[in-house]
A and B are shown apart, each in its own frame.
Chain A
Amino acid sequence: MEYNIVEISLELDNNKCVGCKLCWTVCPHRVFEMNQGKATILKKEKCMECGACQSNCPVGAISVNSGVGCAIAIVNGIRKGSSPCC
C-alpha cells in the first residue's frame, strides 16, 4: 500500500555516506539498498518519514522532514500552538 499525497522529503548525500549500513538496517520499509559499499535510496515512495535513518546516520548524510504521520497529533499541535504531539 502506498501513500502518494506529497513529495517525500527524504534526501541522501551520497558523498557523505561512509557505508555503515545503519539506514538500511533500521528502515521499516526497506527504502535503502547498499550499492558498492554506499547507501542509496531504492524505494522513496515507501518512505514514511519516521526519521530513523536520519537519527542513526553518524555523519548526517540523511535529511528528512520527520514526524509521526498521525492526524490527531497534527491537530493537537495546531490547537496548542506547538509541533505535533499526542
Chain B
Amino acid sequence: MFETNTGCWVVEERKSSLDGLSLEDILFKENEENLGYGVLDKSIINWITLEEDMIPTISNELTLKDKFNIVVQRLGFNRKEYKVPSGLYGVGDPNENSDVFVTCNYKYSFDCVRVGLKGENAWILVLDTKGINVWCAAGKGTFSSRELIYQLNKWNLKDIVDHRTVIVPQLGATQMEPHLVKKYSEFNVVYGPIRSEDLVEYIKNGKVADEKMRTVTFTLKDRMILAPVEINHSIKYLIIISLFFYIINLVSGEQNINLILKQEVISIVYAILGGTVLFPALLPILPFSSFSMKGAFLGTVMSLFVYGNKFIGSTTIGNMYNVGMVLGIILIVSILGLVFTGSTTYTSFSGVDYETKKSIPIFIISGIISVLLVTISKFL
C-alpha cells in the first residue's frame, strides 16, 4: 500500500500486506502526523501516567459541540480534518485486566466507540487512518494488520495489559491478518460487533456476537442519512451546468432569459435531487441490477413526468430542446445512481468495475448529444 504523488492511497495486488517486511520495517513510520489532543478538549477526564507516556481517559458523553460536529460531518463538511490523535486512551478506570478495543482516528467513529463503552472500564487503541472511518479505511488499507502492529508496539500494550487480546470492529477485518498480528505483536485479534451500540451487550454476552451484530444492513434510514453528503458533492456541478445554460442563453440572444434560465436550473436541481434523494429512497424497488440503469429508469420517469406534456403541440426545434433536456436529466440521475455504488454496503468490486467501464462511454456520448441538442435548438 502506498501513497501516490497525487495524495491518493492505492492498494497494490498483494498476498499479504506484510509480505517482504521485517518487524523493523513495520515499526518505522515516516512523517507521522502529530495531532494535539485539543479536539478532545472537554472530553478528557484525567491522565494516566504509564512509564514515559501520559494516557488520557475519555468521557463516555458527547458535548454539545461533539453533537453539532456530527451534524456538520453528516452534511459533508470538514470531513478529512475531523480526527483525533492515534494511540491509547482509557474509558472508566482501566487496568491491566481491562479489554482493549481498537478503532480508527475519525472522530465520529471514536465518539461512537467511547459512547458505546459507557459504564465499562476499557482501553481504546486508535489507529491512524488519516481521519477515515473504519470500513473505508479497512478497504483502503490504512486500517490494517500493519497499522495495528505498529500501534500495539508503539504504545507497549504488552506492558500495559496482562492478557493478549485486542477487540477489532468486524468491519475492520478487510485487511486484517490475525495470524500475522499475533506473529509480530503477540496479540490475538478477536472481532467485536459491527455497531458500537452493540458493544455493551457483546461484552455482557461474554464477548460473543450474535448473527444480528455480525450482519450489515442497508435500511431506508441507512440510505437516507447519506443523502446530504451526496447533495453537497453535487453542488459544484449544479453551478457549472447553470453557468453553461447562462452562457448559451446569453450568446443565443434568448428573449426570456430570466424565465428560461430559471426553468433550466430548476430542471437540474430536480435531476440532482432525484439522483441524491429519490434514488437511495427507492433503491430496493428500482428495476435492473445495474445502478446506472436504475438511475436511467428513475431519470426517465422523472423527466417524462415534467417534460412529457411539453412534446405535445411543440415545434421541431422545441422538441429538439425537449429531447436534449430529457436526455440531460436521465444522464444526471444515471450518473448519480452509479456514483451511489460507493456508498452502498453491498455492491461488489467486480460488478461496479464492469458497469462503470460499460457506462462511461454511454455517459460521454449522451452528454455530448444532450449538450448539442440543447445548444443548437437555442441558435435556430
Contacts and interface: CB of A to CB of B under 8 A. Distances in A.
A1 B346 contact: yes
B215 A69 contact: no
Given A5-B351, A55-B173, A69 B8 contact: no
B48 interface: no
B362 to A, nearest CB: 13
Contacts of B211: 30
A35 B215 CA distance: 19
A26 B173 contact: yes
Interface string A11-29: 0000000000010011111
A55 B174 contact: yes
A3 B355 CA distance: 11
A86 B6 contact: no
With most chain A CB atoms within 10 A of its CB, the pick from B8, B179, B353 is B353
Given A5-B350, A29-B346, A69 B341 contact: yes
B339 interface: yes
Contact of B4 (A27, A55, A60, A82): A82
Contacts, number: 151
Contacts of B171: 28
B49 interface: no
A71 B339 contact: yes
B97 interface: no
A73 B140 CA distance: 10
A36 interface: no
B237 interface: no
Given A3-B348, A26-B170, A52-B173, A82 B10 contact: yes
Contacts of B290: 5
A41 B224 CA distance: 31
Contacts of B341: 69-71
B214 A46 contact: no
A82 B145 CA distance: 23
Nearest to B177: A55
B239 interface: no
Contact of A69 (B145, B176, B194, B351): B351
Nearest to B346: A48
B70 to A, nearest CB: 22
Interface in B191-248: 191, 194, 211, 214-216, 218
A35 to B, nearest CB: 16
A80 B216 contact: no
B173 to A, nearest CB: 4
Interface in A22-61: 22, 25-30, 46-52, 55-56, 58, 60
A84 B175 CA distance: 16
A71 B347 CA distance: 10
B176 A56 contact: yes
Given A50-B139, A56-B176, A67-B349, A28 B342 contact: no
B170 A25 contact: yes
A60 to B, nearest CB: 8
Q: Which of B176, B218, B352 has the most CB of A within 10 A?
A: B352
Contact of A1 (B13, B283, B353): B283
Contacts of B174: 50-52, 55, 66
A82 to B, nearest CB: 5
A69 B347 contact: yes
A76 B139 CA distance: 15
A29 B215 contact: yes
B226 to A, nearest CB: 13
Contacts of A77: 10
Contacts of A84: 349, 353
A80 B8 contact: yes
Given A1-B283, A50-B139, 5 more contacts: A3-B347, A26-B191, A69-B342, A69-B344, A71-B355
Interface of A: 1-9, 22, 25-30, 46-52, 55-56, 58, 60, 65-77, 80, 82-86
